[in-house]
Amino acid sequence: MVLVPCPACDHRVSEKAIACPSCGHPGEHERHGAVSVLGRVAGTYISANALAGLVLGSVMFVSVAAVLITLILAGR
Ligand SMILES: [Zn+2]
């Protein structure tokens, strides 16, 4: 078990802890997910929900575009 200092109160907290037991600050692990990496790459903070919506929107857009292209090509 690795103990990391809480960013809010410096209480030593397990890096696997969901929140600091001393002050309730969310755990350090939340900053190490794929979402935060993508957010850092984009230069902005993207919440998990916003990212999910963004991905879903992109997939939907590509799907609709693929159907439209197929229809246009088939119509000729
Ligand atoms: Zn704390």
Residue in 49, 5, 50 with CA at minimum distance from that of residue 27 = 5
Taking a C-beta distance cutoff of 8 angstroms, is the pair 19, 27 a contact?
Answer: yes
Residue 9 CA to ligand 1 center (angstroms) comes to 4
Cα 34 from Cα 28, distance rounded (Å): 14
pLDDT at 59: 95
pLDDT at 51: 78
Residue 58 CA to ligand 1 center (angstroms) comes to 38
pLDDT confidence bin for 73, thresholds 50/70/90: very high
Phi-psi map region of 58: left, alpha, beta (phi>0 left; psi -120 to 50 alpha): alpha
pLDDT at 72: 92
Residue 41 CA to ligand 1 center (angstroms) comes to 27
Could you tell me which residue, 68 or 30, shows the higher pLDDT?
A: 68
Q: What is the pLDDT of residues 20-60, one digit of tens each?
A: 888 888 765 555 555 555 555 555 556 777 778 889 999 99
Locate the domains of the chain by residue range.
Answer: 1-30, 31-75
